Structure 1
Amino acid sequence: MRTSSPTGLWLPIFAGLCASLVSIGLARFAYTPLIPALIQAQWFSANDVVYLGAANLVGYLIGALLGRPLARQLSNKTALRIMMLAVTAAFFACAFPLSVIWFFAWRLLSGIAGGAIMVLVAATVLPHVPAARKGLASGAIFLGIGLGIAGSGTLVPPLLSLGLQDTWLGLGALSLLLTALSWFGWPADLAHADVTHDAAAAQPTPPGVYLLFGQYAFMAAGLVPAMVFLVDYVARGLGAGAHVGALVWVMYGLGAIVGPVSYGFLADRFGARRSIRLVLVVQAIALGLLAVAHSFLALALLAVVLGSFPPGIVPLALARVHELLPEHHRQQLAWSRATVSFATFQALAGFAYSALFNATGGHHALLFVIAAGAIGVALLLEQAAIFWKHTNPCRREPARDSHSPENTALTVVAPSRASSLPQG
């Protein structure tokens, strides 16, 4: 039975928001404004600091793979609670830089928790939400990522005035508070939610799902440089200082707050597929401009646009999965695979960009240009798929149902509205 009362509806959504805020918004993005401080305080070398940032991305991949098996053993609710506690423990542990290995292990654990939460949170909350509110609920859940980014930009600088160790302890305290507030908000697992992998895999998967996996992977590769290097680019690369870098990061956070809601609106208004095209074009242009921008106004505006992307594409991709697959258990499996695809390229890109950054002596602009190219590949994938379909007319995807035969994965016709997505 789905939750029907307003209080019962918003408590799970609030729990999901807290989970995405802690595990992604803070655990990953609070590290970015800390990079200059970690280097200046000589906790680690500049090269080590960059690779320690990539540790979270590797953990995210591991967590995306382990999320569903862990939930089958413990239940979604228990797994989510444990992962939030793991992130909290990692914050407190990072207050003590005992060694690079120690720090790497805890950053890795925080990434594992983030990946598992990203796989499980929507599958836990959205089945309890009426179909007409799924888009809004999805945007509200992943709004936590944006709030975490914005919070890290406004919270980290004053905490740093107390000291680097106190900064990590403060982030741990905030994470612990949010974990406690969300503890009783998680809904019980639905009885029909546990469907075997074989049962889901036995049904044919629309080609559009695989296309989404590819696009989502290159989106991940395209968002890493701004996500990891933006503050360092402004503070050290342009010589503007840590204060200006923090201000630009706040603008990035504002964009992250707007992203989930605005991208969800685009999906409801124009369909997820068409919205993905539009977003990719805008992001590619913004990354190209970031490589040559120097004024604070230009950097601030670009930061807002780029900041909307990491949290915004999550509900957008999820809406696309719901457009392509009507059954709840298949949506869960496809979303898990999409998250793994995203996490794989994000981790590979994290280490590749870090290695390139160190090899070029800190050439930020080159990273942004390469990221723009990755976004361009994501955009071209769909065009290549459309061309392939037109040159192979016999390869047509079966319709989802008799009422919407035109909504196949690779047709040019716009998909149905996200608001009409089937209930999980």
Structure 2
Amino acid sequence: MMVAMGIGRFAFTPILPLMQRDLGISNSLAGGLASLNYAGYLAGALICAVCPHILRYTSVNVTALVACIATTFLMGFTQSPYWWGALRLISGVASAMLFVVIAIEVTETMVRSSHSRWSSALYGGIGLGIALSGVFTQILDRFGGWSAAWLGMGGISMILSLVGILVAGKRRGAVSIPSVSSPSTGTLTGISRLATAYFLEGVGYIVSATFLVTMITHTAGLARFAPWSWVAVGLAAAPSTVIWQQIAYRIGVRHALTLAYLLQACGILLSSIATQPFSAGLAAIIFGGTFLGIVSLAMAEGTRRSGADARRAAAILTVCFGAGQVIGPPLAGLLADQQGGFSLPLILAGSTVVFGGILVATDRNFSAGSSYKK
């Protein structure tokens, strides 16, 4: 998960300021490249939703892992926006397929071993990957700027993958997934409002996930702090899934998820006015401490509602999340270039997340006892 998501998807965020500094790429181009990655993610999620049986095959999963590593590595070998776009697109497809299959494999393994309450800890790997990319991007920058950063992160991804394989030992390489010809109507109906709220989260959170380090880099007096803000995001994200799970134990999933949405919106809005290291750091910590919590709670709730069709529900939710991520970055980048800053994109992003929180708060499909105690 560190390789597939923490680096494969999100290393772009700390490396982006280096690409803008060394190559002068615009926010619009950056938003377009991000959107292509998320379009690939959406495509990968759709593949998993429509053809879940392909996740049975070891060859498919291994190919996705190799593609995730290779596309990170190859970003440092070209200055062509077209090749960058193609690489980010392929990386998105691979990341989505790995995300779904890893989530299923780990969740089912934890259930079999009677440790399902800790399955959300898996998503902490994304935060660790984010923190790792934030730290090493600064180090790699000294050896060769933006190109060295991409090459180095590709190498680190390879090492992490090998370590993961060695630690896991000899295990089956693909999960057992039944063939299902079409989505269950009950599944689609039961998670429709949750999926809409998850879509809005995808639209809103991705603005910060793409441009946070760039925004802080271009804020007077904060340039030196900018790379560390991404480390703060990752370190806050790593334990957040377990923390939000414990909150859900106490107050129920709907209240916990609503709280996470509204808290994240406050963090996004705070980042639009942050001019000091403290406020910028607080915004980064709030963002990191909520976005994976929302992912883990929403995915768990979708699984609970869908019963035997949980695998397809996970893919459907991932599709909705991916669709939102495709929309956010290009609009934010275009508005940032037109407005000369990210204040308006951040305000719109925060407002979108608020609407998502309202949908969660008014969703009657959460049962009265809908918490992890059940």
Same fold, TM-score > 0.5, yes or no: yes
Q: Does 1:331 align with 2:315?
A: no
Q: Is the 8 A contact 2:204 2:352 kept in 1?
A: yes
Letter aligned with residue 337 of structure 2:
N
CA distance 1:269–1:76, shift in 2 (3 Å): farther
Shift of 1:176: 1.0
* Map of 1:319 onto structure 2: 300
CA distance 1:70–1:171, shift in 2 (3 Å): farther
Q: Indicate the SS of the match to 1:291.
A: helix
Q: Does 1:377 align with 2:360?
A: no
Letter aligned with residue 83 of structure 1:
A
Question: CA offsets, 1:301-321, max 9 Å, x none?
Answer: 221111123322221112212
**Where do 5+ consecutive residues of structure 2 fail to align?**
none
Shift of 1:144: 1.1
Distance in 2 between residues matched to 1:77 and 1:245, nearest whole Å: 40
Q: 1:368 aligns with which of 334, 346, 350?
A: 346
Distance in 1 between residues matched to 2:227 and 2:9, nearest whole Å: 16
Q: 1:201 aligns with which of 179, 184, 206?
A: 184
Q: Indicate the SS of the match to 2:239.
A: helix
CA distance 1:78–1:260, shift in 2 (3 Å): farther
Letter aligned with residue 249 of structure 1:
W
* Map of 1:79 onto structure 2: 60
Name the structure with the higher helix share.
2
Shift of 1:91: 1.6
Q: TM-score, normalised by structure 2?
A: 0.91
Distance in 2 between residues matched to 1:293 and 1:73, nearest whole Å: 46
* Map of 2:41 onto structure 1: 60
Q: TM-score, normalised by structure 1?
A: 0.81
Q: Size of the alignment, in residue pairs? A: 369
Paired residues for 1:245-256 under 5 Å: 245-256=226-237
- Which has the higher relative contact order, 1 or 2, with Cα contacts under 8 A spaced 6 or more apart? 2
Q: Indicate the SS of the match to 2:29.
A: helix
Deviates further, 61-70 or 23-32? 61-70
Distance in 2 between residues matched to 1:273 and 1:75, nearest whole Å: 33
CA distance 1:106–1:205, shift in 2 (3 Å): closer
Distance in 2 between residues matched to 1:37 and 1:216, nearest whole Å: 31
Q: Does 1:171 align with 2:153?
A: yes
Shift of 1:157: 0.2
Distance in 2 between residues matched to 1:316 and 1:77, nearest whole Å: 28
Distance in 2 between residues matched to 1:206 and 1:116, nearest whole Å: 21
CA distance 1:36–1:146, shift in 2 (3 Å): same
Q: Does 1:228 align with 2:210?
A: yes
Aligned-residue sequence identity (percent) comes to: 25
Letter aligned with residue 80 of structure 2:
S
Distance in 1 between residues matched to 2:339 and 2:143, nearest whole Å: 34
Greater Rg by CA: 1
* Map of 1:37 onto structure 2: 18
Question: CA offsets, 1:4-45, max 9 Å, x none?
Answer: xxxxxxxxxxxxxxxx21121112221111112101111644
**Where do 5+ consecutive residues of structure 1 fail to align?**
1-19, 387-408
| Cα RMSD, aligned residues only | 2.3
Q: 2:196 aligns with which of 214, 220, 223?
A: 214
Moved over 4 A (4+): 68-71, 188-191, 383-386
CA distance 1:218–1:68, shift in 2 (3 Å): closer
Q: Indicate the SS of the match to 1:332.
A: helix
Distance in 2 between residues matched to 1:183 and 1:70, nearest whole Å: 26
